[in-house]
Amino acid sequence: MTTPVLPKDFVWGFATASRPRRRRRGPSIWDKFCKIPGKIADHSSGDVACDSYHRTGEDIALLKETGAQAYRFSISWSRIIPLGGRNDPINQAGIAYYAKLVDDLLDAGIVPLVTIFHWDLPDELDKRYGGLLNKEEWTEDYAHYARVLFEALPKVKYWITFNEPWCSSILGYSTGLFAPGHTSDRSKSDVGDSSREPWLVGHNFLIAHGKAVKIYREEFKPKNGGQIGITLNGDGVYPWDPSDPLDVEAAERKLEFSISWFADPIYHGHYPASMIAQLGDRLPSFTPEELALVQGSNDFYGMNHYTANYIKHKTTPADPADFLGNLETLFESKNGELIGPETQSFWLRPNPRGFHDLILWISHRYNNPPIYVTESGTSLKGENDLPLERILEDDFRVAYFDGYVRALADAVSEGADVRGYMAWSLMDNFEWAEGYETRFGVTFVDYEGGQKRYPKKSAKAIGPLFESLIKKE
């Protein structure tokens, strides 16, 4: 029999992000990016996606059916301010949509966790002044946008400033895999400097985060209560050769180049020494005013986690475009041990122990902060090609959640302060550069058959799993 170890106020639920182009939403950099041939796996776009905009009633009913206690969703900046800027018109219909969604969730007994920015910068701001690269203009426009949301949605008690700034910075401005597609690789883009732009963008994210948190804490938290933090993505790590000190060191460096890039300034007031050593003056410095905004600017740590890698050090000097920390990420160890089974996503191999170890690593490095796991889940290899009855029997995903949630519970029993878990995702959706070829949902969405939803086995398994692990008293 399972011994409950999660605190009685632990919250679990699901996360989604969808933004169909309706109700006067302006174009985002992703709308523009999707139109470039070859950028999206199946040549699709997120114009309709799973159409949550028109189906919030259905989606809330789905949440209730699973027993979910919380729902994390992302707000589309260009639905609130179509052109994006602090002097541009506000779309009241967009505000009304999100206000009703929050009210409907609360009426259903479901806690909303709201992400302010999930990669989709209004395209006008990119054209107007270079978007995320412009520290002065963009951080002020973001701070204004955040204030508009704080004012409009006073019932929201959990705010996430940014979702995975690593992805926006590296995939958007180094590899060119994500919007706006900047890269030094001229076969992929005619704009971009992979050696400098991602580090500037990451720095600007931290300053914008700090500005939004200051506004919330000074103007809204005293009257509304609530908490605010940032969500960072990070993979579990194992040394490729555990007996090689250079591989052990490289594994630590991999975490620093992904997680600590953002978390160290917030919790410790400086960038990691390994990044400073490799990047030199390409890594921006904080002014005293910027550091005052950034340091201490998390009420909780938002954690997105899916997979793990073996880490092997490199002996050659770091390439100017390197963003990993001069190392290799592998799925197979020196001894030939695989990190986990294949999925539909080239980057994802399930490994529950990596999740457990990473929770403890974050807890130790950042003085045991409250952690909310704001995304975690898996795709299944070939799922999209299966008949519906087999898609609904997603035992692989059931096993993923069982392994990962139990790994989380083990970390809590060892002292980690984890307070919530949001499975990605409530339903199949537009998976960015992977388009619709990859499904992550616990609910199947029939895109061709009128967007009808069909709960999979995993939708029904996750509730009893948490029920067995959460303390009753």
Which residues are catalytic, by number? 164, 375
Cα angle vertex 301, ends 68, 28, to 5°? 80
Element spanning 54, H or E:
none
Element spanning 225, H or E:
none
The rounded distance, in Å, linking the Cα atoms of 187 and 258 is 26
The rounded distance, in Å, linking the Cα atoms of 377 and 355 is 12
Query: 């809204």: which residue's tokens?
Result: 220
Is 396 within 8 Å of 443 (Cβ atoms)? no
Tokens of 208: 């914008």
How do beta strands 371-375 and 418-424 pair?
Answer: parallel
Tokens of 42: 């199946």
The rounded distance, in Å, linking the Cα atoms of 50 and 258 is 30
Burial of residue 382 (number of CB atoms within 10 Å: 0-12, 13-18, 19+): exposed
DSSP annotation string for 238-270: EESSTT-HHHHHHHHHHHIIIIIHHHHHHHHSS
Can you tell me whether residue 464 is helix, strand or coil?
A: helix
Provide the residue type at 171 as one letter: L
The rounded distance, in Å, linking the Cα atoms of 442 and 26 is 30
For residue 38, what are the contacts with CB-CB under 8 A and spacing of at least 6?
none
How do beta strands 158-163 and 227-233 pair?
Answer: parallel
Is 227 within 8 Å of 158 (Cβ atoms)? yes
Closest CA to 163 of 208, 205, 118, 199: 118
The rounded distance, in Å, linking the Cα atoms of 276 and 41 is 35
Can you tell me whether residue 231 is helix, strand or coil?
A: strand
DSSP annotation string for 125-193: HHHHH-GGG-HHHHHHHHHHHHHHHHHH-TT--EEEEEE-HHIIIIIHHTS--STT---S-TTT-SS--
Is 229 within 8 Å of 298 (Cβ atoms)? yes
The rounded distance, in Å, linking the Cα atoms of 163 and 342 is 25
Q: What is the C-alpha end-to-end distance of the chain, expressed in Å?
A: 18
